[in-house]
Amino acid sequence: MRLRKIQHIRPCEISIAPLIDVVFLLIIFFMVVSQFTRVKLEAVSLPPASQGELPEEMSSRRVILNVHQDGRIINEGIEHDLLSLEQLLKMEKAEHGGGRLTILIRSDRKTSWKTVREIMQVCAGEGLSRVKVAVTEAEGQN
C-alpha cells in the first residue's frame, strides 16, 4: 500500500493568549485571597505549643478575635470592646446558630490573662463553648 504524501506539516505553536489569561486570573485570585486572610489575621506573636492541631475544615462558622498585647480586640479589621464584642457574638449566634459557631482567640503571648479571660467570659455568657486558642508550633520547647 502506498501512503499518501503529507502535503503540509503545520508548525507547532503555543498559543500565548489563553495562557496569559489563565495566569493573570490565578494571580488576581491569589492576590485577593491573601488580602482577605490578612484582614482576618492580624500580626500578633502567638504563644508556642506542641500539641496544636491544624484547623478543621471550614464546615462551621469561625469568628476570629485578634487580641493585641495592649488589650485591643480586633475582628476583621474592626476594634471591639467587651460590649460591642457581646453584640457581635449575639449577631453571629443568631445568624449561624450557637452550636455551629467556633470562636478562635488569636492572642499575643504577652497579653494579660485578664483580657483573654474577659473575652472567654463574654463567650460563656452567650453560651458559646467552642472556643479555640491559636498557637504556633513550638520549637523544641520543654
Q: Which residues bind another protein (CB under 8 A)?
A: 16, 19-20, 23-24, 26-27, 30-31, 33-34, 37-38, 41, 46-55, 104-117, 120-121, 123-125, 127, 129, 131-138
* Least gap, CB of 113 to another protein (angstroms): 5
Which residue's CB is nearer to another protein, number 88 or number 103? 103
Which residue's CB is nearer to another protein, number 101 or number 105? 105
**What are the residues whose beta carbons fall under 8 Å from the beta carbon of 52, sequence distance 6 or more?**
135, 136, 137
Which residue's CB is nearer to another protein, number 9 or number 12? 12
* Least gap, CB of 118 to another protein (angstroms): 8
> CA-based Rg of the chain, rounded to a whole angstrom?
25
* Least gap, CB of 140 to another protein (angstroms): 13
Pick the closest to residue 106 from 94, 119, 93 (CA basis).
Answer: 119
Pick the closest to residue 45 from 134, 142, 140, 139 (CA basis).
Answer: 134
Alpha carbon distances (Å) from 48 to 44, 83, 134? 12, 30, 9
